[in-house]
Amino acid sequence: MSLNKKSVDDINVKGKRVLCRCDFNVPLKEGKITDENRLVAALPTIKKLIADGGKVILCSHLGKPKGEPKPELSLAPVAARLSELLGQEVKFAADPEVVGPNAKAAVEAMKDGDVILLENTRYRAEETKNGEAFSKELASLCDVFVNDAFGTAHRAHCSNVGVAQLVDTAVVGYLMQKEIDFLGNAVENPVRPFVAILGGAKVADKLNVISNLLEKCDTLIIGGGMAFTFLKAKGYEIGASLVDDEKIEYCKEMMEKAEKLGKSLLLPVDAVVAKAFPSPIDAEIEVEVFAADSIPAERMGLDIGPKTAETYAEAVKTAKTVVWNGPMGVFENPVLAKGTIAVAKALAETDATTIIGGGDSAAAVNQLGYGDKMSHISTGGGASLEFLEGKELPGVAAANDK
């Protein structure tokens, strides 16, 4: 997959109708937006298109309406809030069929620099199946297509891939460009030493990521629940810790692969253990630290231990590029967040390019107050994982090459 894509800076949109796919999948509570990060993140691309005199038609999905109009998942509140953020009216085309009479009339009446927002693209069942009819309707509204929604880049839907294939000019917006620059290039062309840190619960979720990153990085650090499957594969006593028994052979293969490639694969040397998983997740909990090869039978490991945290932080200090995906333990619990905090702190203090691959690690870094110290925090969970797997992302591939 070529990562050299045309962007909004490479085209002239004056007087043209521009359909811009954004990620406005924001949390709503009783019709109010409770977190507007995604709206704010979309503003630079939208402002650029307005300033260049485009007729800007925005579209996005919201939640999972499963192909039918659900009033509680309407994008109407987004149009209202965007109007305030942009300081100009964002006209809402309230068509349950998305491309309906309101949308067509609104587009017809547009002047250069006007903005309209279409209704939730997932009101249409064909959206997630990339059905040609809906792609054609979207394409009929525009001369140019801009994709700025990285969160859905790993899916081939009408509003990101189908429509891109039906217009002559399809480019990426600033958010997408940043994801390609950081995530894509970190993996394909990193400044070395390149350290990758993987955490999270299950090995199964990260099979291809582990394998692909071993080929690309210099050091691979494993933490989180998935570390215990690796430790069991080494023949260690892991007590009642989470284990992916079907993946033990895979973990052995990966350790052999690391050795063959001369890569450093770091596993925990100690663990923070408790009698049971905290319930609720942030409940007070009694913990002890044990060596990683001798966790007592009735105890479960729930975070990396202090020695491990120190080793991992040291490994980060020598890096020039660091990619991190997945927490080191049950970070939602203050007692079990220390490993994740230690890694986040090490990343915050390094001069290396630091890239957080979406999902839980993004939430952890922001919650811990280290967000502004990272070079890049990905906006896509699933999409960033597939980027790290070395897969082609349909939403990126569909844009015109430079």
pLDDT in tens, the chain (402 residues): 678 999 999 999 999 999 999 999 999 999 899 999 899 999 999 999 999 999 999 999 999 999 999 999 999 999 999 999 999 999 999 999 999 999 999 999 999 999 999 999 999 999 999 999 999 999 999 999 999 999 999 999 999 999 999 999 999 999 999 999 998 888 888 999 999 999 998 888 888 999 999 999 999 999 999 999 999 999 999 999 999 999 999 999 999 999 999 999 999 999 999 999 999 999 999 999 999 999 999 999 999 999 999 999 999 999 999 999 999 999 999 999 999 999 999 999 999 999 998 778 888 898 889 999 999 999 887 888 888 888 899 999 999 999
> Which one from 38, 232, 247, 299 is the annotated catalytic residue?
38
* Beta strands in 200-299, from DSSP E residues, in sequence order: 219-222, 237-238, 264-266, 270-274, 288-291, 294-295
Whether residue 359 is annotated as binding a ligand: the answer is yes
Per the CB < 8 A criterion, the answer to whether 64 and 122 are in contact is yes
Whether residue 122 is annotated as binding a ligand: the answer is yes
The burial class, CB within 10 Å (0-12 / 13-18 / 19+), for 246 is exposed
Whether residue 361 is annotated as binding a ligand: the answer is yes
Q: How far apart are CA 108 and CA 236, in angstroms?
A: 68
Q: Which residues of 169-206 are buried (b: 16+ CB within 10 A; e: fewer)?
A: bbbbbbbbbbbbebbbebbeebeebbbbbbbbbbbebb
Tokens representing residue 231 in the block: 């430790």
CA end-to-end span of the chain, whole Å?
Answer: 13
Is it true that domain 190-388 has CATH number 3.40.50.1260?
A: yes
Q: Strand, coil or helix: what is 363?
A: helix
> Which one from 53, 113, 131, 382 is the annotated catalytic residue?
382
CATH 3.40.50.1260 residue ranges for the chain: 8-177, 190-388
Per the annotation, the verdict on 381 as an active-site residue is: no
Whether residue 23 is annotated as binding a ligand: the answer is yes
> How many degrees, rounded to 5, is the angle at CA 326 between CA 369 and CA 147?
85
> Which one from 202, 234, 373, 391 is the annotated catalytic residue?
202
CATH architecture of 8-177: 3-Layer(aba) Sandwich (3.40)
**DSSP type of residue 295:** E
Per the annotation, the verdict on 21 as an active-site residue is: no
Q: What's the Cα-to-Cα distance from 286 to each of 7, 237, 332, rounded to whole Å? A: 52, 21, 15
> Which one from 199, 200, 239, 359 is the annotated catalytic residue?
359
Per the CB < 8 A criterion, the answer to whether 373 and 345 are in contact is no
Whether residue 372 is annotated as binding a ligand: the answer is no
Whether residue 155 is annotated as binding a ligand: the answer is yes
Per the annotation, the verdict on 299 as an active-site residue is: no
The burial class, CB within 10 Å (0-12 / 13-18 / 19+), for 117 is buried
Whether residue 81 is annotated as binding a ligand: the answer is no
Per the annotation, the verdict on 16 as an active-site residue is: no
